[in-house]
Amino acid sequence: MKKIFIVLLAAALILTLFACGQKKEPDATGTDTESELSTGTAEIADTDEGTDTVPDDIPDAEDHTVPHTVTYRSADGTVIREETVPATDHVWRYEFDAEGHSAVCTLCGAAGESGAHDYDGNGVCRVCGYGCEHVFADTVVAPGCTEAGYTLHTCSKCGFKYASDYVTATGHNYTESVETPASCDENGSLRYTCSRCGAYFTVKDAIPATGHNFVNGVCTVCGESDSVIPIVPDTDDETDGEEIPSFWGGGEYELPEIPIG
């Protein structure tokens, strides 16, 4: 009997300790009422009927391009104030792929401009900023006399191009020819022409004059005569015995008039 009493007493002690250690469950509203009351932090519902409320006439997002008037009312419907919401422009965001782009307004979702990419010299679209995924075709440009050769890489999609694999210019290959033959008393000139590009330059007086080849007083090359006009003594007093100039061709010779004073 004594043992049974001790067992019952121990069981009662265990149940008491277990009940004291249990956490208080929150009430139906999800708050620990006892805890809130003990700390004084419970919120009091706002029952002020004069608190501003936002009405149903706020403009929709798609109507941002036109101005609107928004009215603020109290809980009982009394108008408190009115405010004008100004119109705003579309704020465009571009969606793009390899073929082109299209604009969408971030405010209202309206569709804007769409089309193919407008690439700049670096292969970047001037409108949406899309960078071209280049597809290059290669062209080999042979070197010239004064210009280097190279391989040109051109994008078939945007036109972007660059060069590589340069080859040194070949330089001119000149051949000589007579431009103006020399005559008996005048020098001749030579022309040097590039056989590859056709560029040329002239060297004057490069061919010395040949000189006359007189036979029986006549040049066999140009036909000029080597006759010398004889100088005849002048017996006329007006010449004072002076010799007649060599350019005189015969006939009466008269002294030139010399103005006096």
Query: Can you tell me which residue has the tokens 């409108």?
Result: 127
Stretch 121-126: mean pLDDT: 90
Cα distances (angstroms) measured from residue 111 to each of 65, 76, 142: 14, 41, 50
Q: Where along the chain do its domains lie?
A: 136-167, 174-211, 214-249
Nearest CA to 159 out of 118, 200, 198, 189 is that of 118
pLDDT at 113: 85
Stretch 130-158: mean pLDDT: 93
Stretch 118-136: mean pLDDT: 90
On whether the CB atoms of residues 120 and 98 are closer than 8 A, the answer is no
- Percent pLDDT > 90 in the chain is 29
Whether the pLDDT of residue 194 is over 70: the answer is yes
Contacts 24+ apart (CB under 8 A), 114-118: 117/158
Cβ neighbours of 103 (radius 10 Å): 20
Average pLDDT, whole number, for the chain? 75
Whether the pLDDT of residue 254 is over 90: the answer is no
Core vs surface per residue 200-209: b (16+ CB within 10 A) or e: eeeeeebbee
pLDDT tens figures, 2-45: 455 555 555 565 555 555 544 444 444 444 444 333 333 333 33
Confidence of residue 223 (pLDDT cuts 50, 70, 90): confident
pLDDT at 40: 36
Phi, psi values for residue 55, rounded to 5°: -80, 180
pLDDT at 232: 53
Cβ neighbours of 210 (radius 10 Å): 17
Q: Which pTM value belongs to this model?
A: 0.42
What is the secondary structure of the chain as a DSSP string? -HHHHHHHHHHHHHHHHHHHHSPPPP-TTSS-HHHHHHHT-PPPP---TTS-B--TTPPPGGGTTS-EEEEEE-TTS-EEEEEEE------EEEEE-SS-EEEEETTT--EEEEES--B-TTSBBTTT-PBP---EEEEEE---SSS-EEEEEEETTT--EEEEEEE------EEEEEEE---SSS-EEEEEEETTT--EEEEEEEE------EETTEETTT--B---PPPPBP--GGGTTPBPPTT--SS---PPP----
Nearest CA to 244 out of 202, 52, 142, 252 is that of 252
Question: Residue 226: CB partners within 8 Å, gap ≥ 6?
Answer: 212, 214, 217, 218, 219
